[in-house]
Amino acid sequence: MSGVRLRSRSSLGVSLLVPLALIALTMAVGANGTPSLRDTVTLILCNLIIVLGLQVFIGNSGVYSFGQLGFASAGAYTAALLTLPAAFAALQTPALPHPIASAQLDPLLAILAAAAACGLLAAVVGLPLMRTSTLAIPISTFAFLIVFYNVISNWDRMTGGSGGLVSIPRTTSIESAGLWAAAAVVTALAFKWSARGYRLQATREDEVAARSLGISVTGERLIAFALSGMLCGIGGALAAHQSGVLNPTTFYFGATVTTVTMMVVGGSRSVFGAVLGTIAVSTVNEVLRNVEGGAHFLGVVSIGRTPGLAAIGVGLILLATMIAMPDGLSGGRETGEFGRPRWLPGELRPRDPVVRIDRTGVAPIDRGAEPPPGTANGSGTDREALRAERISVAFGGLRVLRGVDLTLRRGEALGLIGPNGAGKTTLVNVLSGFLAPDGGTVNLDGIDVGGHSPARLARAGLSRTFQAALPFPHLSGLESVAVGAMGVGVGRRRAVAAAADVLERLGMREQAMLPAGSLPPASQRLLGVARAFATGPRYLLLDEPAAGLSETEGEQLVAILRDVLVDFGCGILLIEHEMSVVMSLCPRVQVIDDGVTLRIGSPAEVQADPAVVEAYLGSSYLAAANA
Amino acid sequence: MTELVQNLIDALALGSLYALIALGVTVIYSVMDMMNFAHGEFIMLSAYALYVLAGLPFAVAVGGALVTGVLIAIAAERVAFRPVRKADMSAQLVTSLAVATILQNVVMAAVDARPKSVATPSVISESTQVGAISVPNLEFLTLGLTAVVLVALGWLLYRTRAGLAMRAAAENFEMARLLGVRADRVIALSFAVSGALAAVVGVLLVMQTGQVSPTMGLTPVLVGFVAVTIGGFGKMFGAVLGGLLLGIVSSFLGAYLPEGLAPFRDAIVFSLPVAILIFRPQGLLGAATGEARV
C-alpha cells in the first residue's frame, strides 16, 4: 500500500536484537559457570518469562494485576503433575485422576499443556475481573492469588497440599529456558506492536479517549490478561521442571513482589525493560541471598545469618524506583527508541482519493437493506442522519437539557452554539454514548442507538473529540492517529497508511514521529482531531476544538478544518461558544440556551435573532441596543 | 436456636473486626486515593509491640501498640508515600507494596520468621454465660471496641475542625487545599488515624490467636481491600458495611460448611467480591471510582 511505517527497520531490529542478545549473554555466563550458577541462571530465565508475562498485561494496560503468579503456579502444577513418574504420583497425589497421574508426558508437551491450561484459566478468571475498574482489578486479582493458594494448599490428595511435590523430572536446561525466554520476548514485542497491543496501550494512555475511538477497554484487557496468564504459566512450568520441587508458596506473595519489582525497575512499558529489570534485580537478589546465610566482606565486615535480607533489598529497590525513577531503567522505551527520532516516514504524502476506512472484521450496526456506508456523498438522504429527539438530562435537580432536538445530516457542517452552561457538551456526551439521557432518543441512520457504548458508536461511524486534548503521551503522533483506525477494527498496516494520510492533510508531518506528550498544546489538540478523523467517521462531533488555544492557533485550526471537511465528507457537528469560528465554517447553526433550542438557521439569521443576542449578552444589552 | 444466636454473635464480632480493618484502609484512600498495602504491616507491627513489651502490664503494652501503629503510619507517609503523592493510583499501590515488603522482612530479620507466642490476660480467653449461650469475652471486647471506635471516629470527623478538613479533603483534595486546608497535616492525620485503627486490630488479633508472626498482616489487608471493594471505594459507611458483610459470611461459612469444604473457606469468602462485582462493578454503595470520567 504505502511505505509508511511506525518505526524504521533499524529501530525495529535494534529493539528486537538487544533483548535477545542480553538473553544470549546471560545463557553464556550461566553455561560456563559452576553447576549451581547454571541452575541459578536457568531459574532467572524462567523468571524472565513470568516478568514478560506481567509486562504484556500490566505494561500495556497500565493496570496492575497481583494475580499473575497464580497462573505461574497453575502452570507449574500442571506441568509437574503431567510429568510426575507414576509411582511418585500415587504417593504424593493419590486422588489425581488416572489419565493425568499416569500421563508422564514428554516435558515439552507438558509445558504446552500448561500454557493452554493457564491461558484458559486466565480467560475464565479475567472474564468477570476485567469488567471492574482500574482500581478494583489489582485487588480482585490479589484475591484470586490467595484463593488459588488456598485451594492448592488444602486439596492435599490432588496437589500434595502445603507440603508440595518432590521428584518432578528436572528437564529444563539452560538452553531450553533461554529459547523459551527468547520466544517470550518476541511474543511480547509482537503483541505490543500489534493492532491489539496498540488498542490496549491507548486505554492505558487515556481510557476515555480510547473508548471514543471504538476501543473496548474490557475486551482488550481480557485478551492481554489471557496471553499474560499463558506466558506466566510457561515460566512456572519451566521453573518446576528446573528445580524438581514445588509447593504452594513457590509462586505466591514473595514471588509476586519480586517479579513486579523486576518489571517496574526495568520500566513497565518496555519489553527491553523487563529483560533488563529481571537481570538487574536477580543479580542483587542472588548477592543478598548469599549474604543472608552469613558473609564476610574483605575480612572486615561480617554479617550473621539474616533471613529476609534479600526481600528487604527487593523492597528497597522497588521503593527507590517508584520514588526516584518511576519509568524504570529503560525509561519505558525499547532499545530502538533511545535518542531523538531522526527518521521521518518516507511517503507521508496525500493520495487521492482519501484512504477509505472500511471496518473489516467489525460487526456494523445492522442497517437492513441500505447501501453500504461511504457510497453516498454530499448531503445525505433523509435517513442518513444523526438524529436526536427530545433529549432531556438532569443532574440531581438541575435540568441541563430540556427536550432538545438535533439533526446532523451526512456531509453537512452544523454549528452548535450557546453561552457557557447552555448544555452543549452534555448534548455531545449523550449523542456519543458517554451519558445516558433521562429522556429522548438518539437515532443513527434510522437505527435507535440508545444505550450503545461510545466504543460501539465509534465503530458504527460516530466519532467525537473532547474539550481537553486527551493525548496519548507515550505514543508517537503517527501511532496515536493510527490507533484511531485500529480502534474501529482496521488492520495495523492499513491503519498506519490512513493515519499518515490524515496527518499529511492536517499539516502534521513534522510531529508524526514524536511522542504525543512532548508536543505543544495546539499540536496535541490537532492530534485529537486527527485521531477522530482516522476512525473514518460518518458523523464527527467536535467539542470546542479551539478551546485553550491562542487566537492565532484557533484561526489556524479553523482554516485546516475548513480545508479537510470536504475531503472527509462526513457530517460535522462543531461546538463553540466563539460565534465567529462557527459562522466561518457552518452554513447552518443551532443555538441552545439553558437546555432548550433557541433558534436554528443560517449564521445571518441566527445573529439577527433578538433572543439569541439576549441569551449571549443579557436583556439589558438588548434594551440598550434597541433604545 | 441457641446455636444460631451463638453463631450470630460470632459473626458480628468477626464482622466488626473486619470493619475496623476496612475503615483503616478507607481513611487513607478517601483523602489521597491510595490503597495502602502496608496497612497489614501497620497491624503486624502494632502486634509485635505487644510481644516486645511482654514484661510490662498488659494495659501499658496496649498503649505501646497504639503508639507504634500511629508512629509507623506517620513515618511511612513521610518517608515513602509523600514523594509519590502526585503519582497515579497504580504507582501509589505499588509503592505501598514495597513498604509492606520492607516492613515485613525487617521484622523477619530482626525477630524471627516463625510465629512467637504472646501472653494475654486470662480474662480475655474466658467466656461469659448469657442465658443459654456462652459468649467469649473477646467477642464482647471486639464489639465494644468497635462501637467506641466508630463513635470516636464519628466525633473526630463531624465534631472537630480537623475532621472537617479531612472530610473536605476526601470530597475534593485540590479544592480543599485552595480553601486553606493544609494538605500535609490532613494526610498525616489520616495516617495517624489509620495507624491507630491498625493497632486496635493488631491487639485484637493477638488476643484471638495468642501469637504474632511477620506475615500476620497479609490476610487482614486483603480482607480490608475486599471489604472496601464490596462497599465502594472511599465510603466510610461502605467500608463498615463491606467489613461486616465479609465477616458475617466468613463466620457462617466456618460454622456451616461441610467438613470436606471447610479448608476452602477463605477461597469461598474471597471469591465473594468477584460475585458482587459481576453484578455491581461499582461496589454495593456509591458511584464508580477508579473509573475515568468524561
**A131 or B191: whose pLDDT is higher?**
B191
Mean pLDDT, rounded, for A272-287: 95
Q: Which of residues 216-255 of B touch A (CB under 8 A)?
A: 218-219, 222, 225-226, 228-229, 233
Query: pLDDT band for position A375 (50/70/90)?
Result: very low
Which of B89, B215, B274 lies closest to A135 in CB terms? B89
Give residue-wise pLDDT tens across range A389-404.
999 999 888 899 999 9
Of all residues in chain B, the percent with pLDDT exceeding 70 is 96
Give residue-wise pLDDT tens across range B85-142.
888 888 999 999 999 999 999 999 999 889 999 988 888 888 888 888 888 889 999 9
Give residue-wise pLDDT tens across range A8-36.
888 899 999 999 999 999 999 998 989 99
Task: Pick the closest to residue A418 from A572, A621, A612 (CA basis).
Answer: A612
Give residue-wise pLDDT tens across range B279-289.
777 777 654 44
Q: Which of residues 220-279 of A touch B (CB under 8 A)?
A: 253, 257, 260-261, 264
Q: Find chain A residues with C-beta within 8 A of B266's C-beta.
A: 146-147, 150
Interchain CB contact of A131 with B (< 8 Å): yes
Mean pLDDT, rounded, for A522-544: 91
Query: pLDDT band for position A97 (50/70/90)?
Result: confident
> Can you give the pLDDT at residue A619?
65
Q: Which of residues 70-99 of B touch A (CB under 8 A)?
A: 80, 83-84, 87, 89-91, 93-95, 97-99
> Can you give the pLDDT at residue A457?
95
- Chains A, B: CB pairs < 8 Å: 152
Give residue-wise pLDDT tens across range A165-210.
999 999 999 999 999 999 999 999 999 999 999 999 999 999 999 9
Say if the Cβ atoms of B109 and A309 lie within 8 Å. yes
d(CA B14, CA B266): 14
All three cell numbers of A533, joined, read 478523523
Give chain A's mean pLDDT. Answer: 87
Give residue-wise pLDDT tens across range A287-333.
998 888 766 665 566 666 777 889 999 999 999 999 999 999 999 99
> Can you give the pLDDT at residue B117?
93
Q: Is the pLDDT of residue A351 over 70?
A: no
Say if the Cβ atoms of A322 and B94 lie within 8 Å. yes
> Can you give the pLDDT at residue A10?
85
Say if the Cβ atoms of A134 and B84 lie within 8 Å. no
Distance in Å, alpha carbon of A246 to nearest chain B alpha carbon: 20
Opening angle at CA B67, ends B62 and B72, nearest 5: 125
Which of A146, A264, A311 lies closest to B101 in CB terms? A311
Query: Which value does ipTM take for this structure?
Result: 0.91
Distance in Å, alpha carbon of A313 to nearest chain B alpha carbon: 8
Give residue-wise pLDDT tens across range A552-568.
777 777 777 777 676 76
Q: Is the pLDDT of residue A132 over 80?
A: yes
Residue of A64, A132, A211 to mutate, testing the B interface (most B Cβ within 10 Å of its Cβ): A132
Instruction: Judge contact between B14 and B6, C-beta under 8 A.
Output: no
Q: Is the pLDDT of residue A367 over 80?
A: no
Task: Pick the closest to residue B80 from B186, B187, B228 (CA basis).
Answer: B187
Q: Is the pLDDT of residue A364 over 70?
A: no
3-state helix, strand, coil in chain B (%, to 5): 75, 5, 20
User: What's the DSSP call for residue A434?
Assistant: S
CA distances from B245 to A141, A419, A492, B91, B126 (A): 20, 49, 48, 29, 26
Query: pLDDT band for position A377 (50/70/90)?
Result: very low
Give residue-wise pLDDT tens across range A410-463.
888 899 998 888 899 999 999 999 999 999 999 999 899 988 999 999 999 999
Task: Pick the closest to residue A252 from A91, A68, A127 (CA basis).
Answer: A68
Say if the Cβ atoms of B105 and A261 lie within 8 Å. no
Interchain CB contact of A62 with B (< 8 Å): yes
